[in-house]
Amino acid sequence: MPLTDTAVRNAKGKDRPYKLSDGGWLFLLVNPDGKRYWRASYRFAGKQKTLAIGPYPAISLAEARKQRDALKEQLAQGLDPSEARKADKRATALNSSRTFEAIGREWITLKLPGWVPAYSERLLSRLDADVFPALGSRPIADIEPPEVLEVVRKIEARGAVELARREMQVIGQIFRFAIASGRASRDPTQDLRGALKSPGRPKHRRALPREDLPDFLQALDAYDGEPMTKLALKLMVLTFVRTTELRAARWSEFEGLDGKEPLWRIPAARMKMRFEHLVPLAPQAVAVLNELRPLDGRSAQLFPSPGKEGFMSNNTMLFAMYRMGYHGRATVHGFRGVASTWLNEAGYDSDWIERQLAHDERNEVRGAYNSAQYLTGRRQMMCDWADFLDAQKRKGASENS
């Protein structure tokens, strides 16, 4: 006799599980705890099988009967409902792995070992904010150029023209990864060339004019702010590394400070180009380090800070330059340009200079080898640069006396 809604609703648990049959293979399984589940029994290829339909009341009697009838249709077509359901689950799992977000995160995971952590975190946060909400759930093979353009146009509308361009590049990289792994056949960003606003002329971080160097060095000597910040700026001028490389420096990276060939060995994990970088240290740089050591509180960091990163913030040195009167006149990063200009004009080997600036080395084998290449010449070059700075400081003192 077919079940009724009332009979299903009032079914209570007993000492043992029991079944309430609706006929036509459908029955309600009632467990001792009172929980109820729809099941369907059928025979396929001479074997008795049971298919779980779902719990009551999430699935009503009427819905359970619909699913039972669908099961009968599959059997009439010669299909095993259990195997058909497994195939559906496999297809769903496959489709979910082919979405833009799933493939994007897979690509990021693949690339992580070669990226600086700060870069990967920044890239993922931008994808989470701007790209995944719009494209993430879409099968990557179905995404068309207008959909991508709509995403990057929204970024442009915020005035972030350069960010929009970079985000489209990342989207293109994800599509090319999907093509390589057989989950897409084309990269729609290729159809969008010329569709974005021009970012305009690049704005280079301002370098201190050469003629202002004597006054700056005098002002730096007279700076009355935090001693650690003052020493960080001095070390920046002497080594002209990237700001992040200096801020995150650790004492364990320095070698031979008491010897004739002191060296700062910056590990590949902290370098923009992911190659170890060697910085020969002039005696003036060693003197700064010796002055800095008593200020760090026995920290592993040169410039410890209670902030999130654990070391000096990105703007600390820049704000110190503002206090010294150089707001809008120069940036911390700009000292790389000052050093590069003087070294080139002084006639030093361009390979020495490029290696000391840790510029991109396209050939990975050559790049790894070049971390130490020209070290003797670069050591003399760095000492000459430090002596030049001393001369400029003396010049500033005599002009202002």
Question: Is position 359 annotated as part of the catalytic site?
Answer: yes
Q: Of residues 66, 204, 359, 394, which has the active-site annotation?
A: 359
Catalytic residue among 272, 274, 329, 395: 272
Which of 19, 86, 327, 369 is catalytic? The answer is 369
Residues 6+ apart with CB under 8 A from 43: 49
CB 167 within 8 A of CB 126: yes
The residue from 68, 242, 277, 378 that is catalytic is 242
| 204 given a catalytic annotation | no
What does residue 37 show for φ and ψ, rounded to 5 degrees? Answer: -135, 135
Question: Given 234, 270, 333, 393, which residue is catalytic?
Answer: 333
3-state secondary structure of 368: helix
User: What CA–CA distance (Å, rounded) separates 100 from 105?
Assistant: 9
Catalytic member of 234, 336, 355, 393: 336
**Contact by Cβ (8 Å): 71, 79:** no
333 is catalytic: yes
Distance CA 255, CA 259 (A): 9
**336 labelled catalytic:** yes
277 is catalytic: no
Contacts 24+ apart (CB under 8 A), 204-207: 204/337, 205/331, 205/333, 205/334, 205/337, 206/328, 206/329, 206/330, 206/331, 206/334, 207/330, 207/331, 207/334, 207/335, 207/336, 207/337, 207/338, 207/341
Q: How far apart are CA 399 and CA 211, in angstroms?
A: 12
What DSSP string runs through 132-200? HHHHTTSBGGG--HHHHHHHHHHHHHTT-HHHHHHHHHHHHHHHHHHHHTTS-S--GGGGGTT-SPP--
Distance (Å, rounded) from C-alpha 339 to C-alpha 295? Answer: 28
Q: Which residues are catalytic?
A: 242, 272, 333, 336, 359, 369
